[in-house]
């Protein structure tokens, strides 16, 4: 499977004493694609705010933690114990590890 990043850092969102707390995880080599787009209202013809997101494909061999919705993620290895302001929020996770070992992966969409 094609990879273009040495890894990423995921902060697992947890709740401790009714406040958000984060547990840091590092993933191995993966494919990271930044995407951007803009939506135009068909009713008014005006543009809305840009929709910036990332598609992250983590090969099964690189998975150390399966991200879940509302976790935070950044490209590359970050040693901070809490997510930086540039971290994206995981919106969707699809698990495709049941396929061939050469193509088994997890897909993460983040905004």
43-55 tens-digit pLDDT: 666 666 556 899 9
Q: What is the Cα Rg of the chain in Å?
A: 16
Record the pTM. 0.82
- Sheet strand arrangement including 72-75: 19-27, 8-16, 72-75, 88-96, 105-110, 51-59, 31-37
Residue 79: which H helix or E strand, with range? none
The per-residue pLDDT for 20 is 82
Which residue's structure tokens are 């993966």?
30
In this prediction, what percent of the chain has a pLDDT beyond 90?
A: 68
Nearest by Cα to 1 from 110, 96, 109: 96
Of 38 and 63, the structure prediction assigns the larger pLDDT to 63
Q: Tokens for 43?
A: 């009713």
């Amino acid at each position: 499977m094609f990879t273009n990043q040495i890894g990423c850092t995921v902060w697992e969102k947890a709740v401790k004493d009714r406040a958000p707390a984060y547990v840091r995880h590092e993933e191995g080599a993966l494919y990271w694609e930044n995407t951007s787009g803009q939506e135009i209202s068909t009713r008014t013809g005006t543009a809305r705010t840009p929709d910036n997101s990332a598609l992250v494909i983590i090969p099964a061999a690189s998975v150390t933690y399966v991200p879940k919705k509302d976790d935070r993620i950044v490209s590359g290895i970050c040693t901070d114990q809490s997510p930086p302001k540039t971290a994206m929020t995981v919106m969707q996770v699809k698990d495709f590890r049941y396929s061939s070992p050469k193509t088994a992966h997890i897909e993460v969409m983040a905004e």
